[in-house]
Structure 1
Amino acid sequence: MASPPEHPVNDHHSQFDLLRQRRFLPYFSVQALGAFNDNVYRQAIIGLLGAMLLAGTMAPETRALYTQLAPAIFILPYFLFSATAGQIAEKLEKQRLIVITTAMEIAIMSLAAIGFLLQDMRILLVALFCTGLQSTMFGPVKYSILPSVLKPEELTGGNGLVEMGTSLAILLGMICGGSIFLLAGAAGPYVAAVSIIALAIAGNLVARRIPRVDAGEPGLRVDWNIARQSWRIWQLTRRQPAVRNAVLGVSWFWFVGTVLTAQLPVYAETNLGGTQALYIFALALFSIGIGVGSLMCEKLSGRTVEIGLVPLGAFGVSAFMLDLYFARPGQALAAGLSIPQFMAAPGAWRIMLDLTGIGLFTGFFVVPLFALIQSRTPRAELARVIAGMNIQNAAFIVAAAVIGIALQRFLGWSIPQVFLALAIANALVAIWIFSIVPEFFMRFVSWLMVRTLYRLELHGIEKHVPDEGPAVLVCNHVSYMDALILSATVPRPVRFVMYYRIFEIPVMRWIFRTARAIPIASPREDAALMQRAFDEIDAALADGQLVGIFPEGKLTGDGEIAAFRSGVEKILERAAAAGRPVPVVPMALRGMWSSMWSRRSASAGAGRLGRMRVPRRFRAHVQVMAQAPVRDPGVTAQQLEARVRELRGDAA
């Protein structure tokens, strides 16, 4: 009887565990407080404008001018200072920089408080510009800090929490900021002044609890030439195709979100027949959807950076936005509806579902993109890449506002028609991105297949697969799906070495090629191919990648583990001879023999069709085991085989 596995329980930790840990909670609280305070301030400005209009101290034309100026003033610093912010975030220790930016917020909000007390819009707009500057400085460190404090398997869950916290903080900030002048009346300016200063001080105090995080590149010389550095930093976002298109996807997320949220106030009034309260309700549905979708990403991805969720999110957004158009293509038949009255109206629940669904799939779309950017970008460049992304985001936000206005004022489109156009454009942009970098769609297909056909249980993956650096993963070979299953469970990308005939299977070939699998043959079949495979394995390990191999060299025909061949020894010998020995992580698949695409039925005489048998129990229960890395470069194939046999046990 084989010994029990080293980890008898499933490797599952809730992302909410991060909220109890100092490495994450203070940071999460600071970014949520910052987003909350920004929106309290901006909505309080709108509230002050309304109060001044009612009091007769401001003309309607002046109010309209300030309302149009405010978003432009806030977004301008992203164009002007993102390049500088990215360099500073790369050069300075990150906790220190967060304390500096939150101290800036105290000073800025003190200036804004004076503006509220004097009811002077000029001071408030200057403070708004400074708020945009402070957000520009905080942006690069906000996302570049995560890979330094989180493990690779925590990136998706951590980003999900950040997006959830940000979306809810924005919503609550808008509600609270918009309520100040409604509830406080004449005392509104005093309440607003005290609130924004208190929130800024709270953010700074919490920032001091963030642990120290080393700078990405402390020796970097800051170039203060804005135009030159903006171009160079933007170019950094384009070095890797996957990162380039992930950045494009995030910018497109801001485009879609800007168009949608900009139309919601008028849409709630003219098409839903409601009041300002109904607009907030619609925004709440969208924000809650984003929060829920962001949190679901960790569960759906299996705690890996699963970019297969991105196509699901993109097409889900288009589907719900398309349905939103058909749900209410014209104007509402009633006006002045309260939230309960709207909910009681025919078709209201369909609209509510559409708004929530758009937010939900937006979370599926954007969270894996952030995780991909963080995991694929070198640490010494990440803050600058985030800064370059912020420049592009700002451009997309401005374009969204201009296009939205142009479609309605010059072409006469209704808001539902704008939503229809946006749904179609979103689908076309998604198809274009996925055609340029097929890895996104490949991961979606493999994710869908694995999560549909199997129920995965992990043991030892997080503990024993290295978070960074090269390693060789060795595993028993049971079915044609083995590589896809391991890809779905290992947090980092894996370069799999596989028999060339499996590599050439129709449909699967496209997936394997896109995943940069390495085909190999025996020397009798194709000596040149075998040599190319070993050279490519050497290059991948030298680059710090994970390489996965199945040392049996073939699928099991009886459910048992065959003798490991000497190819794994050759891989380790070549790496050691080059002066860079690599660890070997023994892994095992349990429960795959009774699943789809094993040779179980074929071995019983079912013929070739047996290879495609439907499992007796749909969504077969499969365990993926990992053991402590072997660091002896002289380890033999037989020794590794014994470790894999021990891991696999009797559960074929």
Structure 2
Amino acid sequence: MSGQFALLKQRRFAPFFVTQFLGAFNDNLFKNALVVLLTFHAVQWTTLAPELLANLAAGIFILPFFLFSATAGQLADKYDKAVLARLVKVLEMGIMGVAALGFLMHSLSVLMVALFLLGCHSTLFGPVKYAILPQHLHADELVGGNALIEAGTFVAILIGTLAGGLLAGSVEHPVWIAGGGFLVALAGYLSSRGIPAAPAPAPALTVNLNPLTETWRNLRFARENRTVFLSILGISWFWLYGAMFLAQFPAYTKNVLGGGETMVTALLAAFTVGIGAGSLLCERMSGKHVEIGLVPFGSIGLTLFGLDLWLASPVGLVGTTAHQLSALLSLPAVWRVLFDIVMIGVFGGFFIVPLYALIQSRSETSHRARIIAANNILNALFMVVGALGAASALGAGLSIPALFAIAALLNAAVAVYIYGLVPEFLLRFVAWLLVKAVYRLRSEGVERIPLNGSALLVANHVSFADAVILMGASPRPIRFVMDHRIFRTPLLGFVFRHCGAIPIAPARDDPALLEKAFAEVSAALANGELVGIFPEGNITRDGELQPFRSGVARILAANPVPVVPMALSGLWGSFFSRIDGVAMKTPFRRGLFSRIGLRVGTPLAPDEATPATLHERVLALRGAVK
């Protein structure tokens, strides 16, 4: 994982990482310190109940996300994001001045204004935070950069929450809380000075200050790309799911585990370690490209470990006094609870990091920040709905472990719904499993597949798994031209059709479908997509490379694009090959983890890419291993 950590030494990432880390830290330091003060010293500030004050503070902090996210997205598209980051830090220092005034005046109203302004600070920084990454990072660094941001954010939240509680209980006068926040904001401003310029993608944009109409417009931008919009819904669902679990930790500790504040901290730390580890592992597991196949894997883990947390929750631990942390950690049942929470965090990282990277890579550059603003609005909405739903369920008598179980089952239902709408997630998951679990793929030259623009990918055809394996190895989606008969298979037909595969038939079988296939290939290449073909026309029956047909020449005559030769090896003799005459007849024919290879050659110019030349290149790339 040295690749992503190397970003922390580079100016195009490190100053921004420190800036966002300190911002998340400061938000939670002030918010939690204020909540602790109002919880334990409420009579000094107001006659309202502490429980009401805590929820009021949470609501005031999240309100700006609804009111100003749309405006924040416009500003991040119109102005240099590095300049905006510095201005946000200046605002943060001013907010700490307002907080200091509130503490000096002993005014709850002024402190709530400061909390509201801190929510505004986070709202303004949100679109900058995610829209700046694609401007400063290369495509193969996007997953690693997002992983560091997610891990750093949760660590900052945990440390800030702990520091806020400690500060509230240890300083003689609460004005020192604002003083500490000001120093953190100052450090954030100084680090922001090192962020390189991030020029505005839409400097001529006219800012619309109406939050309702602009919110609707941002959502419309997001809906233009179905995969991006469903990714936003997936991220919003995760924040609902994760926030619901985190919100229950204090009551779960008290009413189920029988512990005190230190046990709550242990649960928060377990979740933070988990999501940090899961986020950082994403780069290695995805091969440094945006691997959305990890998203279904993440949702499976979120469901399984959410259900196990319900099953693992002990009974009979609650006593008249809170148990010490050491006493609870001596119980195997508590370690199982901690393990489940760590794993929820790990699989949460697998789920959320690829989705953020997908939104950044597939959003239109001119309004990427506004799409991220739409994401922030929906995140906030989902968290509020989740909090209200959890409060209603618990108020109706549902136990906290049972709430965890219901949330886990709902997570499975949401996952099935999203993957049904966009089978690309599911297909990439199957491809990822084939590449990582069923086979041991060794690839060479994958970086030769263009990260942008159209290209024709040409490969040998050894097995029924070829297209799926190539999808799993490619950093970008590929639209494969496939035999029309595979679309008659209920499951495979549904998945490939929704992933943009192009059905083709021989002229003698269906000349109209043949012409339609060439028209779709031409349209895809004109639109800047990758198109994959198997010029042999059929899966080999003897393991040898068959002659390449003339369809390549027809495609290039209409769309002269670069041609990338690729060769699969090691699949002949596998379950999916026709070594026994009929494929998929003998399960585990070669066992699991058998070695396969993929070699990608140097792209050829269109005028060089004749069928004979391509046949020669693919054969040379494959070598002696079939």
| Compared CA separation, residues 291 and 13, structure 1 to 2 (3 A) | closer
SS of match in other structure, 1:32: helix
Whether 1:394 aligns to 2:383 is: no
Query: 2:35 touches 2:57 (CA, 8 Å); kept in 1?
Result: no
Separation in structure 1 between the aligned mates of residue 316 and residue 227 of structure 2, nearest angstrom: 42
Separation in structure 1 between the aligned mates of residue 544 and residue 29 of structure 2, nearest angstrom: 64
Say how many residue pairs are matched. Answer: 625
Whether 1:380 aligns to 2:366 is: yes
Whether 1:519 aligns to 2:503 is: yes
Whether 1:227 aligns to 2:212 is: yes
Per-residue CA distance 1:575-619 (angstroms, 9 max, x = gap): 1xxxxx3212222223333443223x33xxxx3257656353531
Separation in structure 2 between the aligned mates of residue 161 and residue 591 of structure 1, nearest angstrom: 36
Query: 2:39 touches 2:54 (CA, 8 Å); kept in 1?
Result: no
Whether 1:31 aligns to 2:20 is: yes
**In structure 2, what is the equivalent of residue 629 of structure 1?**
603
**In structure 1, what is the equivalent of residue 563 of structure 2?**
584
Whether 1:255 aligns to 2:240 is: yes
| Compared CA separation, residues 454 and 418, structure 1 to 2 (3 A) | same
Whether 1:489 aligns to 2:473 is: yes
Residues 128-527 of structure 1: pairs in structure 2 closer than 5 A: 128-182=115-169, 184-186=170-172, 189-190=175-176, 192-328=177-313, 330=315, 332-334=317-319, 335-409=321-395, 411-462=396-447, 464-502=448-486, 504=488, 507-527=491-511
| Compared CA separation, residues 290 and 615, structure 1 to 2 (3 A) | same
| Compared CA separation, residues 443 and 136, structure 1 to 2 (3 A) | same
Query: 2:89 touches 2:185 (CA, 8 Å); kept in 1?
Result: yes
* 1:49 aligned residue (38, 45, 50): 38
Percent identical residues: 45
Separation in structure 2 between the aligned mates of residue 517 and residue 610 of structure 1, nearest angstrom: 22
Query: 2:575 touches 2:590 (CA, 8 Å); kept in 1?
Result: no
Offset, 1:29? 2.1
Whether 1:87 aligns to 2:74 is: yes
Per-residue CA distance 1:410-434 (angstroms, 9 max, x = gap): x122222322322222222222223
Per-residue CA distance 1:276-325 (angstroms, 9 max, x = gap): 11111111111211111222223333333232322332232222222222
CA RMSD of aligned residues (A): 2.4
Separation in structure 2 between the aligned mates of residue 571 and residue 164 of structure 1, nearest angstrom: 45
Paired amino acid for 2:23: G
| Compared CA separation, residues 507 and 230, structure 1 to 2 (3 A) | closer
TM-score (norm 2): 0.93
Offset, 1:455? 1.2
Separation in structure 2 between the aligned mates of residue 569 and residue 449 of structure 1, nearest angstrom: 32
Offset, 1:544? 1.0
**In structure 2, what is the equivalent of residue 8 of structure 1?**
none
Query: 1:85 touches 1:387 (CA, 8 Å); kept in 2?
Result: yes
Separation in structure 2 between the aligned mates of residue 444 and residue 319 of structure 1, nearest angstrom: 17
267-276 or 399-408: which moved more? 399-408
Query: 1:152 touches 1:492 (CA, 8 Å); kept in 2?
Result: no
Offset, 1:83? 0.9
Query: 1:304 touches 1:488 (CA, 8 Å); kept in 2?
Result: no
Separation in structure 2 between the aligned mates of residue 635 and residue 516 of structure 1, nearest angstrom: 25
Separation in structure 2 between the aligned mates of residue 506 and residue 71 of structure 1, nearest angstrom: 48
Separation in structure 1 between the aligned mates of residue 154 and residue 361 of structure 2, nearest angstrom: 23
Query: 2:428 touches 2:472 (CA, 8 Å); kept in 1?
Result: no
Paired amino acid for 1:525: D
Separation in structure 2 between the aligned mates of residue 376 and residue 505 of structure 1, nearest angstrom: 30
584-593 or 443-452: which moved more? 443-452
Query: 2:88 touches 2:125 (CA, 8 Å); kept in 1?
Result: yes
Paired amino acid for 1:322: L
Separation in structure 2 between the aligned mates of residue 281 and residue 117 of structure 1, nearest angstrom: 34
| Compared CA separation, residues 639 and 230, structure 1 to 2 (3 A) | same
Paired amino acid for 2:267: A
Separation in structure 2 between the aligned mates of residue 329 and residue 406 of structure 1, nearest angstrom: 24
| Compared CA separation, residues 436 and 498, structure 1 to 2 (3 A) | closer
Query: 1:152 touches 1:491 (CA, 8 Å); kept in 2?
Result: no
| Compared CA separation, residues 622 and 187, structure 1 to 2 (3 A) | farther
TM-score (norm 1): 0.90
| Compared CA separation, residues 42 and 565, structure 1 to 2 (3 A) | same
Separation in structure 2 between the aligned mates of residue 293 and residue 284 of structure 1, nearest angstrom: 14
Offset, 1:13? 7.0
Offset, 1:640? 2.5
62-71 or 502-511: which moved more? 502-511
